Amino acid sequence: MKILVAHPGTQHSFQLAKELEERGLLLRFYTCLAISDKSITGRLITKFLGGSSLRNRIIRSVPQKKIKCFLRLEWNTQKLLRKGADSESVLFERNRMFQELIPDHELMKADIVVGFDTSGWVLAERCKKLNKKFILDVSIAHSLAKQEVYKSIANRYPQWKSTIHYKSPEYIAYEQLEMETATCIMAASSFTKQTLIVNNIAQEKILINPYGVNSLDFKPIPKKRKQGDSIRFVFVGLVDARKGVPLLLESWNLLSLPGATLTLIGPVEEQVKHEILTQYPKVELVGKLSSAELRGVLPTYDVLVFPSFFEGFGLVVLEAMACGLAVITTTATCAVDLMEHFKDGIILEDYSVAGLAGSMRVLAEDQALLETISGNAIVKAEKFNWKAYGDRWESTLKKIHEKPGN
């Protein structure tokens, strides 16, 4: 059985290609830019350009001969984005051209083709014509569901409207097409699956495979907390309304915890940055960190607060658990697939200020509970490593390969 994986960007496609290669299943990995860690170029970048953005394009364990890149396409795309062109239309065009550039003879060699959401509608149709099975990996919940969430957020937090970006109905239609055409869909969370079902995607074609975490990258550090020590809360992600930041800030204002701190880590628009610094001067705003920087600082905090209104998974939840943080998050993330409420995390079923503030207060005032959840979170995260993710993929691929038809 040979699998062709196609993704114009990165996300978790590099990890999937690695896991398939280690199992002898990878035929080819098509992308715009990827550099094998086994190549001379990859070794030089790793050794001398560790802080470069190229570091994120290094793929482990996959030989360069199995990687096919469309460098000119990536170059032209980045050039347009640097000039200020509309990112949605530029990326749509990149994704369309990427799918068309993969030759038929490569698709014919594959037993199964794996594509990714927003870059799979052409591939799905081509595979159907070639009588090839096509799996669509869906990294975020359905866009129509997101539009409804955005409307609700805009009404609740009008001052945060600048961070809400509605998707064109034309592009959503292409996403619907790729989901309907795919042989099956791999979602990362139950939340994502439910939004697809609500939007008329057949339930029986949707599978769930939660992402993984590398315990060598994200790991706890020794903490000698004493009763009464101040607690350190952290949020990690895009600092915008969809991620629940205005809800978090409202809840923080409601709390009065002596010595407690709240840090926001992630990209932030200038308007939002000004709003936070003005209205919430005691909140630390760090900005975007590199992956290496995040791995270094995340374990130093006590609690991750991630009150997102809408996700596909929310990988930082799992990364924080692996680092020994207690996590407070919502049902719109991977929470129900990873956690047991008040055992290895806290899951919010509503989006009330009082509910979030109450959960933060409980962990701040009950050190025993904080330590219990922290310890349980580490144990749970160990079960969701990338090898287990790859094992689940392998099992699914074998079943789909053996099933008649496409």
The CA distance from 213 to 321, in Å, is: 10
pLDDT of residue 292: 87
One-letter amino acid of 296? G
CA separation (Å) from 140 to 18, 133, 193, 194? Answer: 21, 22, 10, 11
pLDDT of residue 81: 95
| Pick from 322, 278, 276, 11: nearest CA to 286 | 276
Q: CATH number of the domain at 232-383, please?
A: 3.40.50.2000
Give strand pairing partners of 206: 185
Contacts (Cβ under 8 Å, ≥6 apart) of 76? none
The CA distance from 178 to 166, in Å, is: 20
pLDDT of residue 242: 95
Q: Per-10-residue mean pLDDT for the chain, 406 residues long?
A: 96 95 98 86 61 74 94 95 95 97 97 97 98 97 96 93 91 97 97 97 97 94 75 97 96 91 96 91 93 93 97 97 98 96 94 95 94 97 96 97 81
| Torsion angles phi and psi, residue 165, rounded to 5 | -125, 105
CB atoms within 10 A of CB 303: 25
One-letter amino acid of 108? M
| Torsion angles phi and psi, residue 28, rounded to 5 | -160, 150
The CA distance from 47 to 70, in Å, is: 25
Q: Where are the domains of the chain?
A: 3-212+386-402, 232-383
Give the CA angle between residues 206, 312, 57 to the nearest 5°: 105
Q: Is 32 helix (H, G, I), strand (E, B) or coil?
A: coil
Interhelix angle 367-383/353-365, rounded to 10 degrees, is 100
Q: CATH number of the domain at 3-212+386-402, please?
A: 3.40.50.2000
pTM across the whole model: 0.93
Give strand pairing partners of 4: 28, 113
């794996």: which residue's tokens?
Answer: 114
pLDDT of residue 227: 66
pLDDT of residue 291: 87
Quickly list DSSP for 281-344: TTSEEEE---HHHHHHHGGG-SEEEE--SS-S--HHHHHHHHTT-EEEEETTTTHHHH--BTTT
The CA distance from 80 to 153, in Å, is: 31
Are 46 and 72 within 8 A, CB to CB?
A: no
The CA distance from 347 to 78, in Å, is: 39
The CA distance from 237 to 266, in Å, is: 5
pLDDT of residue 406: 66
Sign of CA dihedral 55, 56, 61, 66: negative
Tell me the H-state helices in 60-168: 71-82, 87-101, 104-109, 121-129, 143-156
The CA distance from 340 to 323, in Å, is: 18
Give the CA angle between residues 15, 198, 351 to the nearest 5°: 80
The CA distance from 306 to 250, in Å, is: 14
The CA distance from 197 to 199, in Å, is: 5
The CA distance from 334 to 312, in Å, is: 7
The CA distance from 18 to 21, in Å, is: 5
pLDDT of residue 38: 78
Q: Judge whether 3-212+386-402 and 232-383 match in fold.
A: yes
Q: Is 371 helix (H, G, I), strand (E, B) or coil?
A: helix
